[in-house]
C-alpha cells in the first residue's frame, strides 16, 4: 500500500517538475523566480491538511483511546512541521529577489511562523514524555488546542498587519492565473499530497513497530 | 454538592494555602519589582521611549510573571502526592479545572494591579484616566491566558523539563490574546474610546470562550496523571 503511494508520489513529483519548468509559462514580471510557487503553495496547503488530520486524530484518540489514532496524529504532525518548514524556506528564497528581504512580519508569514512553533512545541512535548500512553493523551490535548487556535491566530495577525499577496487558489471565484500555471500548480498540489500520504504511512508503520518492540 | 460549589472548594483550598504560605504571591511581587528594574536598565531613562513601549512592557511583565505563577499551579498537588486526591473527587472533574483557572486568574490579576501601580509610580505614568478601560481589558486578556496556562500546567507538572516546556507550549498559543491585549491596552492608555478597538475586544472574548471550553472538555484526559 505505502509502496504504491510512494511510486505515485514519485511519478507525480516528476510530472510536477516537468510541468513547473517546461509547460508552465514564464511569469512576465517576476521571471523564473515565480516558479518557486510550485513548491511553496503545495507545501503550505499540505501542511494545513496535515494539521487538520492531527486535530481529527487527536479528538478520535481522546474519545476512543485507540493507539492507531495517536500514531496517525504523531506522524501527521511531524510531516506537517516538515512541510511548514519547507514553505517558510521556499517563501524566503522567493521573498529575497521579489520583496528584497528574506523575512518580514507580514500577516501570513507571521501566522505560518506561529503555526510552525506551535507544532514544534507539540513534537517537543512528545519527545519529552517516555510513557507512551500519557504522551499520547497530552499530545492530543495540545493538538486540539493548537488547531482551535489557528483561526484566532489568523484574524489577530491579519488585523495586526498585512502585505502578502492575496491567496491565489483558496478564494471565491475563478482562479486568477493562466491555464498553464494553474495546471502545473494543481499537479504539484496532488503530488505533494501523495508524498504526504506516503510519509505518514511510512511513519505510522515505524511508530507501530516501535510500540511493538517496547511493549 | 453542585458543580459550582466543587469548583469553589478547589479555589478556596488554593486561596487558603496561599494566604498561609504566601509562597507564590511574595515571590511574584518581588519578581515584578525586579522586572521593573530590568525594563528601566535595558531601555534607559528616556521617558518618551518608555511611554511609547508601555503597553508592550506591561504585558511583557504580565506574561513573564504569569509564566512563573501559572507553571506551578499543580505543583502543590504533585509534590505532596495529592494528585490521587484530585483523581478520586466524585463528579465531573472539569470543576477542578474551573477552580484552578479562577485561582490563577485571581493571582494574575493581583500581580497585574501591583505591576500597574509600580509602573505608575516609578515611570511617572498617569494611568488614572485609563483605569475603567483597563478594568475591562486586563481581565479579558488574562482569562484566556490563565485558561490555557492552567491546562498546560496540568500537563507539564508531570514532565521533567517542565520549566522549558511550559513556556514553549504556552507562548505560541497565546499570541492572539497577547496581540489583542496589547492593542487594547494601548488604546486605553492613549485615552481612545474602547469602541476603536472593538474588534480586538471581540477577539479576546472569542479566545476566552474557546480556551475555557477546550480546557473544560479536555481536562479529564490530563488528570489521569
Q: How many CB pairs under 8 A join A and B?
A: 83
Partner-chain contact B203 A152, CB within 8 Å: yes
- Give CA B158 to chain center in angstroms: 21
Instruction: Specify whether the CB–CB gap between A87 and A58 falls below 8 A.
Output: no
pLDDT in tens, B99-133: 999 999 999 999 999 999 998 888 888 888 888 89
Q: Which of A60, A73, A129, A152 to mutate to test the interface with B (most CBs of B within 10 A)?
A: A152
Q: Is A28 helix (H, G, I), strand (E, B) or coil?
A: coil
The more confident residue out of A112 and A165 is A112
**Whether residue A170 has pLDDT greater than 70:** no
Q: Least CA distance to A130: which residue of chain B?
A: B159
- Inspect the interface and report whether the beta carbons of A152 and B176 lie closer than 8 Å: yes
Q: A115-130: per-residue pLDDT in tens?
A: 999 999 999 999 998 8
Let me know if B58 is exposed, middle or buried by CB neighbors in 10 A (0-12, 13-18, 19+): buried
Contact B68, B107 (CB under 8 A): no
Q: Are B207 and A152 within 8 A, CB to CB?
A: yes
Asked if the C-beta of A158 comes within 8 angstroms of chain B's C-beta atoms, the answer is: no
Cα B153 to Cα A138: distance, rounded to the nearest angstrom: 11
Q: Which domain holds residue A57?
A: 2-167+188-214
Q: Which three cell numbers stand for residue A25?
A: 509559462
* Contacting residues of A for B206, CB less than 8 Å apart: 152
Examine residue A174 and state whether it is found in any structural domain, yes or no. Answer: no
Cβ contacts of B167 on chain A, cutoff 8 Å: none
Q: What residues pair up with A31 in beta bridges, in sequence order?
A: A27
Q: Report pLDDT for B49.
A: 81
Separation between Cα atoms, residue A92 and residue B121, nearest integer Å: 45
**Chain A contact for B57, CB < 8 A?**
no
Rounded Cα–Cα distance for residues B55 and A68 (Å) = 46
State whether residue A27 is helix, strand or coil.
strand
Q: Which of A191-195, B122-126, B183-187 has the lowest mean pLDDT?
A: B122-126
Q: Which of B163, B171, B167 is nearest to B75 (CA)?
A: B163
Distance in angstroms (rounded) separating the CA atoms of residues B184 and B174: 15
* Residue in B62, B204, B209, B70 with CA at minimum distance from that of residue B141: B204
For residue A135, give how far its alpha carbon lies from the nearest alpha carbon of chain B (Å): 10
pLDDT digits (tens, 9 = 90+) for A65-105: 999 999 999 999 999 999 999 999 999 999 888 888 898 88
pLDDT tens-digit series, residues A135-151: 999 999 999 999 999 98
**pLDDT digits over A8-57, tens only?**
999 999 999 888 888 888 877 788 888 888 999 999 999 999 999 999 99
- Give pLDDT tens digits for B133-159: 999 999 999 999 999 999 999 999 888
Q: How many domains does one find in chain A?
A: 1
Q: In this structure, is residue A179 part of a structural domain? A: no
The separation between the first and the last C-alpha atoms of chain B, rounded to the nearest angstrom, is 25
Contacting A residues, span 78-137, partner chain B, CB-CB under 8 Å? 114, 117-118, 121-122, 124-125, 128-129, 134, 137
Chosen from B56, B150, B168, B181 to mutate, greatest number of chain A CBs within 10 A: B168
Cα B218 to Cα A140: distance, rounded to the nearest angstrom: 9
pTM of the model: 0.89
The pLDDT confidence band at residue B82, using thresholds 50, 70 and 90, is: confident
Predicted confidence at residue B23, as pLDDT, reads: 83
ipTM over 0.85: yes
Residues near A155 by beta carbon (within 8 Å), at least 6 away in sequence? B176, B203
Tell me the per-residue pLDDT of B48-59, one tens digit each, with 9 for 90 and over.
Answer: 888 888 899 999
CB atoms within 10 A of CB B225: 13
Are A155 and B203 within 8 A, CB to CB?
yes
Residue A76, domain member (yes or no): yes
> What's residue A45's pLDDT?
94
Amino acid at each position: 500500500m505505502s509502496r504504491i503511494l510512494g511510486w505515485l508520489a514519485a511519478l507525480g513529483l516528476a510530472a510536477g517538475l516537468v510541468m513547473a519548468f517546461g509547460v508552465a509559462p514564464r511569469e512576465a514580471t517576476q521571471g523564473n523566480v515565480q516558479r518557486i510557487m510550485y513548491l511553496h503553495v503545495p507545501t503550505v496547503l499540505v501542511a494545513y491538511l496535515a494539521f487538520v488530520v492531527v486535530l481529527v486524530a487527536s479528538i478520535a484518540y481522546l474519545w476512543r483511546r485507540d493507539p492507531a489514532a495517536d500514531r496517525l496524529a504523531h506522524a501527521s504532525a511531524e510531516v506537517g512541521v516538515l512541510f511548514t518548514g519547507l514553505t517558510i524556506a521556499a517563501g524566503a528564497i522567493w521573498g529575497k529577489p521579489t520583496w528584497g528581504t528574506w523575512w518580514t512580519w507580514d500577516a501570513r508569514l507571521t501566522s505560518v511562523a506561529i503555526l510552525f512553533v506551535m507544532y514544534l512545541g507539540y513534537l517537543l512535548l512528545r519527545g519529552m514524555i517516555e510513557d507512551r500512553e500519557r504522551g499520547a493523551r497530552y499530545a492530543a490535548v495540545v493538538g486540539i488546542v493548537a488547531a482551535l487556535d489557528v483561526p484566532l491566530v489568523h484574524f489577530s495577525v491579519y488585523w495586526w498587519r498585512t502585505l502578502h499577496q492575496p491567496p491565489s487558489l483558496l478564494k471565491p471565484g475563478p482562479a486568477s492565473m493562466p491555464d498553464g500555471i494553474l495546471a502545473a500548480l494543481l499537479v504539484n498540489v496532488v503530488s505533494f499530497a501523495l508524498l504526504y500520504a506516503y510519509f505518514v504511512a511510512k511513519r505510522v508503520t515505524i511508530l507501530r513497530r516501535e510500540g511493538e518492540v517496547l511493549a | 454538592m453542585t458543580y459550582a460549589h466543587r469548583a469553589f472548594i478547589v479555589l478556596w483550598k488554593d486561596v487558603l494555602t496561599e494566604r498561609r504560605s504566601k509562597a507564590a504571591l511574595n515571590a511574584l511581587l518581588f519578581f515584578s519589582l525586579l522586572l521593573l528594574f530590568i525594563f528601566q536598565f535595558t531601555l534607559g531613562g528616556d521617558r518618551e521611549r518608555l511611554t511609547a513601549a508601555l503597553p508592550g512592557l506591561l504585558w511583557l511583565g504580565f506574561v513573564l510573571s504569569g509564566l512563573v505563577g501559572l507553571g506551578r499551579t499543580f505543583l502543590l498537588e504533585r509534590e505532596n502526592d495529592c494528585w490521587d486526591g484530585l483523581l478520586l473527587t466524585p463528579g465531573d472533574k472539569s470543576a477542578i479545572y474551573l477552580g484552578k483557572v479562577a485561582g490563577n486568574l485571581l493571582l494574575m490579576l493581583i500581580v497585574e494591579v501591583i505591576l500597574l501601580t509600580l509602573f505608575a509610580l516609578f515611570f511617572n505614568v498617569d494611568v488614572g484616566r485609563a483605569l475603567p478601560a483597563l478594568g475591562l481589558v486586563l481581565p479579558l486578556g488574562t482569562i484566556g491566558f490563565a485558561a490555557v496556562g492552567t491546562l498546560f500546567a496540568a500537563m507539564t507538572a508531570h514532565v521533567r523539563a517542565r520549566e522549558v516546556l511550559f513556556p514553549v507550549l504556552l507562548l505560541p498559543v497565546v499570541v492572539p490574546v497577547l496581540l489583542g491585549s496589547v492593542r487594547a491596552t494601548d488604546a486605553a492608555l492613549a485615552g481612545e474610546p474602547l469602541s476603536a478597538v472593538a474588534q480586538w475586544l471581540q477577539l479576546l472574548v472569542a479566545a476566552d470562550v474557546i480556551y475555557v471550553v477546550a480546557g473544560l472538555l479536555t481536562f479529564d484526559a490530563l488528570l489521569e496523571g
